[in-house]
Amino acid sequence: MAINITKENFNKIIEGSDVPVLIDFWAAWCGPCKMLGPTIEELSKEYKDKAIIGKVNVDEAQDIAQEYGVMSIPSVMVFKGGEVVDSSVGVKQKSYYAKVLDKAL
């Protein structure tokens, strides 16, 4: 299951991880976010021991979304070593996210 990332645990997860971290910026009212949700959950199972998969609710963590320039959702960012190494906006195929994660590994 994808980790719920909040302003309280964001820095610890991003900066403290020695594996890539994929974050889905989403909101409960966002239709495309709901479409992407199952893909994110599948990735969290498939990459369980290789990466951290998390979700940031932009309504609850507006400061994080603002800090990373999230203007549209869903936005997905991959962090490695505390830095953004890839980002995308909108719903993509699962294979796209898998390729990005594999590259970050």
Kindly tell me the sign of the dihedral angle through the C-alpha atoms of 62, 1, 22, 74.
Answer: negative
Query: Of the listed 14, 33, 43, 100, which one is catalytic?
Result: 33
Query: Of the listed 30, 85, 91, 98, which one is catalytic?
Result: 30
30 included as an active-site residue? yes
33 included as an active-site residue? yes
Hey, which residues are catalytic here? 30, 33
